[in-house]
Chains A and B, each alone.
Chain A
Amino acid sequence: MRRMSFNNLFLTSMSVFLLITQPNIYAQVDTFEFDNDEQQGRFRQLSNELRCPMCQNTNLSGSTGGVAEDLRREIHRMILEGMSNEEIEQFMFERYGDFIFYRPRLRAETILLWFGPLLFLIIGGFIAYGIFRRANSVDRVTVDLDEEQEAKLNELVGK
């Protein structure tokens, strides 16, 4: 497929709704040869976890864009040359920056991202404890009101 320019892509994307960008539905099939299954697996993992820099939001393996094709070819070459995943990732970082990683690196700026869920869990725990406490402390105070409220409730519900 002839490479689509950035602006072209932008224009086509204007008409796109819901599922797929135009270049994307044209499913991509590479036939790289590897020395062993381990290399094949690494290739698949890397091209799944690296983002195509020119596309809307797809990884390298799911994209037919020109640059994605080139990058897959480069990954294939580097794997055959015996480079480690870290070296390949560094290669990508030096050229395309953090944008290319679907798994953001842990740095000062991404601490909130990686530990946010843990923070949420702690906050959630406190809120839950608050609800538990409140339910139990109110229990003793409003016990007298219960029947009246119950009657009212039953009337409301139509019992």
Chain B
Amino acid sequence: MPALFFIALGGLLWRGLYLDTRTLPSMLIDKQMPKFSLETIGGDIVTNEDLPEQIFLLNVWGSYCLPCLVEHPTFMRLSEEGEIPVVGINYKDRNDLAKGWLETNGNPFAYSIEDENGRFGIDLGVYGAPETYLVDSEGVIRYRHVSVLDETVWLEEFLPAIEELRLESN
């Protein structure tokens, strides 16, 4: 008996080694984007009404965040090639630093919502930049990726998800 139990435990521990315990699943999948009315970095007021009426990405970024710099080229390419609109959330950052960061590195975002105290981030269930949400044309969150979104992640996670969404709406 103890020996059998132990073997089962061994299998479980082995399985446990390959689990990712650091990526929290989002609670907002298949839920409407939370209501907001906030300023962009540029100073315009935006609300849910102003979100793109098509599938788009919502990227949580900050000028202090090194991994954001790593994923930046992917977002630049996506917006330059017009593949998908990207809305930014400038998360817990200072306005001048954020502007400077965009000036130096380029601005892939349609606009960046300013979330200086992280309150909107809480409504989204954000727990660390960078995070990227895939939102459909109805404003429903369909997918979340935590940490760097590079070309591999784009090809392997986002493209299939977007394809699926397109099929669904047709």
Taking Cβ atoms with an 8 Å cutoff, the residues of A that contact B are 2-10, 53-54, 66-67, 70-71, 73-74, 93-97, 99
Which listed residue (B65, B127, B148) contacts A53, Cβ 8 A? B127
Given contacts A6-B127, A7-B67, contact A70 B27 (CB under 8 A): no
Which listed residue (B119, B125, B129) contacts A5, Cβ 8 A? B129
Q: Report the nearest B residue to A95, measured CB to CB.
A: B125
Question: Would you give 15 A-B contacts (Cβ < 8 Å), ordered by A?
Answer: A3-B62, A3-B92, A3-B129, A5-B65, A6-B128, A6-B129, A67-B127, A70-B118, A70-B122, A73-B117, A95-B124, A95-B125, A96-B24, A96-B127, A97-B24
- Alpha-carbon distance between A99 and B25 when the two chains are bound, in angstroms: 9
> For the side of the interface on B, what is the size category?
20 to 34
Q: Report the nearest B residue to A94, measured CB to CB.
A: B27
Q: Report the nearest A residue to B118, measured CB to CB.
A: A70
The interface centre, meaning the residue of A6, A67, A97, A99 with most chain B CB atoms within 10 A of its CB, is A6
- Are B117 and A8 in contact, CB atoms less than 8 angstroms apart? no
- Are B67 and A5 in contact, CB atoms less than 8 angstroms apart? yes
- Are B125 and A2 in contact, CB atoms less than 8 angstroms apart? no
Which listed residue (B64, B124, B146, B147) contacts A2, Cβ 8 A? B64
- Are A9 and B128 in contact, CB atoms less than 8 angstroms apart? yes
Task: Check: B159 CB closer than 8 A to any chain A CB.
Answer: no
Which listed residue (B64, B118, B125) contacts A96, Cβ 8 A? B125
Taking Cβ atoms with an 8 Å cutoff, the residues of B that contact A are 22, 24-25, 27-28, 62, 64-68, 92, 117-119, 121-130, 146-148
Interfacial chain B residues near A95, Cβ < 8 Å: 27-28, 122-125
Interfacial chain A residues near B128, Cβ < 8 Å: 3-6, 9, 54, 66-67
Which listed residue (A2, A10, A71, A99) contacts B24, Cβ 8 A? A99
Distance to closest chain B CB from A152 (angstroms): 29
The interface centre, meaning the residue of B68, B117, B126 with most chain A CB atoms within 10 A of its CB, is B126
- Alpha-carbon distance between A73 and B117 when the two chains are bound, in angstroms: 10
Q: Report the nearest B residue to A96, measured CB to CB.
A: B125
Known: A66-B118, A67-B127. 13 other contacts (CB 8 A): A5-B129, A6-B129, A6-B146, A7-B67, A7-B148, A54-B128, A67-B122, A67-B126, A70-B119, A94-B27, A96-B24, A96-B125, A97-B25
Distance to closest chain B CB from A44 (angstroms): 20
Interfacial chain B residues near A70, Cβ < 8 Å: 92, 117-119, 121-122
- Are B27 and A3 in contact, CB atoms less than 8 angstroms apart? no
Distance to closest chain A CB from B10 (angstroms): 19
